[in-house]
Amino acid sequence: MARGGFRGMPGGMNQAAMMKQVQKMQQDMLRMQEEQEAKTYSAKAGGGMVTATISGKNELVALEINPEAVDPDDVEMLQDMVIAAVNEAIRAAETDKANTMSKLTGGLNLGGLF
């Protein structure tokens, strides 16, 4: 192997240049993770009767229930709507995170880093 470089690396990229790129990518990933954690994601269920809002850390931060959805004879339906709204908000957050990470990595799957 040539001194200071890697065989087969495009343009004969040397170790220092590669490390600089890796450090920049790490900084970009940390910044992006902080931005994602600051976001909120909302989803509705039951025709808008229940709205769940989660943070970018997947923590439930708000839950709105339309009074019309509260039927003492059908508590199970309300429970189902709450679960559906929370799960949909989580899916929205995860999809956004995956799309954002894909933009940063150029589609490279780095599994579990985010």
Per-domain boundaries in the chain: 14-105
Contact 45, 85 (CB under 8 A): yes
d(CA 57, CA 94): 10
The predicted structure's pLDDT at residue 1: 47
d(CA 33, CA 1): 37
The predicted structure's pLDDT at residue 114: 47
The predicted structure's pLDDT at residue 82: 96
- Count Cβ atoms below 10 Å from residue 85 Cβ, excluding itself: 26
Q: Which residues contact residue 98 at a Cβ distance below 8 angstroms, ignoring those fewer than 6 apart? A: 114
The predicted structure's pLDDT at residue 99: 87
Tell me if the domain spanning 14-105 has CATH number 3.30.1310.10: yes
The predicted structure's pLDDT at residue 36: 86
pLDDT digit string (tens) for the chain, length 114 residues: 455 555 555 555 688 888 888 888 888 888 888 888 899 999 999 999 999 999 999 999 999 999 999 999 999 999 999 999 999 999 999 999 888 888 777 766 555 554
Q: Which tokens go with 18? A: 């590669």
